[in-house]
Amino acid sequence: MLRGATRIIDWPMEGLQRLIGERRMPYVFLLPNLAFFGVFVFVPISINFLYSVTGGPALFPAERPFVGAGQYAYLFDCGSFVDPSSCREDHFWRGVSNTLRFTAFQVVAMVLLSLLTAIVLNMKIRGRGFFRAVYFFPVLLSPVVVALIWKWILQRDGLLNAGITGLGGDKILFLSEPGWAMFWIIFVSVWAHMGFYTLILLAGLQAIPADIYEAAEMDATPRWRVFWRLTLPLLWPNLIVVIVLALIRAVQTFDEVFVLTGGGPGTSTLMVVQYIYETAFSNQVQNFGLAAAASVVLGIVLFALTLAQLAFSQRKSS
Amino acid sequence: MKGTKMLLGCALLAASLVVSNAQAQTTLRMTWYSDGNEGEVMSDLLRRFEEQNKDIKVVLDQVPFKAINENLPVQLAAGQGPDLARVADLGGVARYMLDLRPLLKDPAYFETNFGPFLEWMRLPGDKTSIPGFMTQLTLTGPLVNKTLFEQANIAMPGPKATWEEWAKAAKDVATKVQAPFPVAIDRSGHRFFSLAITQGAKVFDDKGEPAVVDDGFKRGAQLVYDWHKNGVMSKELWGSVAGTAYRGANDEFKNAQVVMYVSGSWQIGQFDKTIGNGFDWVAVPTPCGPANCSPMPGGAALVAIKTTQHPKEVARLVEYLASEKVVGEFYDRSLFVPGHLGLAKQGLTYKDASQQGKAALKVFSEGVSTLSPVANKLQGYVHNRVIFNAVISRLGQAIAGEASLDEAYKRITADIEQQIAERTKK
């Protein structure tokens, strides 16, 4: 019965193979995915690039005047790239600067805390299953829900200030002071996503053969040396995945920060993606061309990060 | 068998009649946002319209105000808009509006009663089109928590008091009763200009081109900046979000945390309903500056959209809704200042409003007579939102400590030039 059914599929495939040759057959199997990917990824990327070389308020590309690299020139018109206020489009560069700061602190905190948590959760401790669930639970929440929960905690009359005033302290405007606002968006982001990265590292830890540790124990190797010489190298492929995924996600950060601080106070938590969104849709003049140019720049950065990850992991495995 | 066939035949005939009737009905889509209960009132009026016009069905798509400002313009640019929409950025979407004049039975009625406001819906050079009517006229102005003044035993400043006098009084009250917000002004360029124009801001040069940063403007900006420094205003509104984001203090006012809330007449309906007997609140005339005591006018209009497939039906609906009796009921039940000159002259009873709601509406309605020509001109300017957005974005940065006021002024001028150039690029 099953053989009969597979023959039904085999027959046209065999015919096709005879027609186009064996070497071309893999492309036939790739075609559906490639078509899907093309329509929903390559075509939008191409349209986005097209917008980035046009100007004006019109929506349809055919109605938009060609401006060449004008949008890119406007974006990069800076006295000094380390001083956003010297740039013509200072909001973009403030977004870049904030995103870099956010990424640096968030990724380091995320990786270290995820690693620590994964190591603890890999030990034979009481209630291990419960703690694994607890750490993973925030991952299941929508970013908007996460941001709203923390907004209620952090606002003037929120839970945290209630605790502070209960202890005799003064209320702190956590979301209206630039330093505090940046701290809290990093904290909330780590809290919300740590469970996912912990899970990846936990899977990596569990894949390390136990006999290696037994051999180390027999040799009376100190714990820190076991971690440094055995655990870390064997966990390296998973760590690379975690670092790159965390990096890409940090650069793309938008929803949580947008709901929690709206990019403020001032522009102290304005991220690049929020800048793109506001330039294209939220501002009165919906500047699709400039937003598209900024998103092309962001796309190139993300592409470079992905290539770096590939190169790094290949070099390590070789 | 014969009877069954007969029955089947009748059923088919009935079904085909129902289908043909349904096909004859035109469906109009109206995109709508609400500040208070006006969505419910409009639903009521539409139900009555449908009863009188069986061939038209109106679907009311209720969306947040943000969607009207951000999503609707993209929809309209793509030619995918509704048949009608309630919009606040009249100049910004004017190019997508349909001129109903040739389709209206009595265009003179619209000219007579909505004339000055029709100009806000027209593109430069257009002197005749009638795209719709005002669903409300709004005026900016302060709403004051009277109970907090009484608790602090401090007298409220009089009708001609200056901004500085109000700020001092509100700060004193807030200190005494420990209210966190002595003065709250919506994070909105429109609201800022209600202060700046009283300080003498002219906004335009002699040729009618934007020349926003002048001495009057600077006086207004300096006041807002100083108030944030000396605690009259909290950073939570102007300093807490980035860019052009709007931020109001509705919840804070309703929770009696604000002594004086500079917002506008559109808040009356919801405050009347939600504050109830919680505390006494009053609307007061716009505080005065060296130039005048003018509020900023504004409002929302229900307009026909150019891409509609049913212009005649849209015109019939607009005629019905804009008719004196219907629009009068709409303003009355929604507690709105009428954007209809005839009704404004007659006055409305606002029978559903509380005494303080009625009093507040009276104060705002009287504000119409104190409107400065600059305020009217700014409201009618097609790129006014470009000006409003540049101001809140850059002033917000100065308040947050990212830039000095002088840097903010330069950026405001540059932003306005660049955005108007981009908007008019062909």
Say yes or no to pLDDT of B4 above 60: no
Cβ–Cβ contact B12 with A under 8 A: no
Task: Provide φ and ψ at A21, rounded to 5°.
Answer: 95, 155
Say yes or no to pLDDT of A120 above 90: yes
- The whole-angstrom distance between A193's CA and the closest CA on chain B is 24
B421 CB neighbours in chain A (<8 A) are: none
ipTM of model: 0.81
Give the per-residue pLDDT at A314: 76
Residue B102 CA to residue A215 CA, distance in Å, equals 93
Angle B324-334/B311-322 helices, nearest 10 degrees? Answer: 70
A277 CB neighbours in chain B (<8 A) are: none
* Burial call B95-125: b when 16+ CB within 10 Å, e when fewer: ebbbbbeebbeeeebbeebbeebbbbbbeee
Q: Own/partner pairs for A154-159, CB < 8 Å, 24+ apart?
A: A154/A184, A154/A260, A156/B180, A156/B236
pLDDT top residue among B85 and B419 = B85
Q: Which of A65, A263, A286 lies nearest to residue B242, judging by beta carbons?
A: A263
Are A88 and A78 a contacting pair, CB within 8 Å?
Answer: yes
Give the per-residue pLDDT at B2: 54
For residue B426, what pLDDT band results from cuts at 50, 70 and 90? confident
* Burial call A23-45: b when 16+ CB within 10 Å, e when fewer: eeeeeeeeeeeeeeeeeeeeeee
B239 CB neighbours in chain A (<8 A) are: 176, 264-266
Give the per-residue pLDDT at B163: 97
For residue B173, what pLDDT band results from cuts at 50, 70 and 90? very high
Give the per-residue pLDDT at A125: 86
Q: What is the mean pLDDT of residues B266-291?
A: 93
For residue A115, what pLDDT band results from cuts at 50, 70 and 90? very high
For residue B91, what pLDDT band results from cuts at 50, 70 and 90? confident
Are B254 and B274 a contacting pair, CB within 8 Å?
Answer: yes
Percent of chain B at pLDDT exceeding 70: 94
Q: Which of B71, B386, B400 lies nearest to residue A285, judging by beta carbons?
A: B386
For residue A1, what pLDDT band results from cuts at 50, 70 and 90? low
Cβ–Cβ contact B401 with A under 8 A: yes
Structure tokens at A183: 């701290």
* E strands present in B130-208: 132-145, 181-185
Q: What is the mean pLDDT of residues A58-85?
A: 92
Cβ–Cβ contact A85 with B under 8 A: yes
Q: Which of A60, A94, A284 lies nearest to residue B389, judging by beta carbons?
A: A284
Say yes or no to pLDDT of B19 above 80: no
Cβ–Cβ contact B102 with A under 8 A: no
Cβ contact (<8 Å) for B388 and A284? yes
Structural domains of chain A ordered from first start:
84-317 (1.10.3720.10)
Residue A63 CA to residue A40 CA, distance in Å, equals 23
Q: What is the mean pLDDT of residues B90-114?
A: 94
Give the per-residue pLDDT at A137: 92
Residue A4 CA to residue B236 CA, distance in Å, equals 71
Residue A190 burial by Cβ neighbours in a 10 Å radius (0-12, 13-18, 19+): buried
Say yes or no to pLDDT of B5 above 70: no
Say yes or no to pLDDT of B134 above 80: yes
Q: What is the mean pLDDT of residues A215-230?
A: 90
Say yes or no to pLDDT of A61 above 60: yes
DSSP A63-89: GSPB-TTHHHHHHT-BS-TT-GGGBTT
Give the per-residue pLDDT at B6: 58
- Closest chain B residue to A178, measured at CA: B400
Structural domains of chain B ordered from first start:
18-137+299-355 (3.40.190.10), 138-297+365-423 (3.40.190.10)
- The whole-angstrom distance between B267's CA and the closest CA on chain A is 23
Cβ–Cβ contact A152 with B under 8 A: no
A265: preceding bond cis by omega (within 30 degrees)? yes
Q: How far is CA A210 from CA A16, A202, A217, B76, in A?
A: 49, 14, 11, 64
Give the per-residue pLDDT at A182: 96
Cβ–Cβ contact B240 with A under 8 A: yes
The conformation of residue B323, written as its DSSP 8-state character, comes to S
User: Which tens digits make up the pLDDT trace of B336-389?
Assistant: 999 999 998 888 999 889 999 999 999 998 888 889 999 999 998 989 989 999
Give the per-residue pLDDT at B159: 87
Give the per-residue pLDDT at B10: 55
Q: What is the mean pLDDT of residues A23-46?
A: 92
Cβ–Cβ contact B411 with A under 8 A: yes
- The amino acid occupying position A57 is P
Q: What is the mean pLDDT of residues B35-47?
A: 94
Q: Which residues, including other chains, have CB under 8 Å from residue B117's CB and lie 6 or more apart?
A: B133, B134, B137, B299, B301, B339
Angle at A41 between CA A77 and CA A146, to 5 degrees: 80
DSSP B32-66: E--SSSHHHHHHHHHHHHHHH-TTEEEEEEE--HH
For residue A317, what pLDDT band results from cuts at 50, 70 and 90? low
Q: What is the mean pLDDT of residues B51-80?
A: 93
Q: How many CB pairs under 8 A join A and B?
A: 115
Averaged confidence pLDDT in chain B: 91
Say yes or no to pLDDT of A77 above 80: yes
For residue B8, what pLDDT band results from cuts at 50, 70 and 90? low
CB count within 10 Å of CB A183 equals 13
| Interface with B, mutate which of A258, A285, A287, A290 (most B CBs under 10 A) | A285
Q: Which of B24-33, B155-164, B240-249, B257-266 has the lowest mean pLDDT?
A: B240-249
User: Which tens digits make up the pLDDT trace of A62-75?
Assistant: 989 999 999 999 99
Pairing of strands B56-62, B258-264: unpaired
Are B317 and B181 a contacting pair, CB within 8 Å?
Answer: no
Cβ contact (<8 Å) for A282 and B407? no
pLDDT top residue among B169 and A312 = B169
A285 CB neighbours in chain B (<8 A) are: 386, 419-420, 422-423
Q: What is the mean pLDDT of residues A202-219?
A: 91
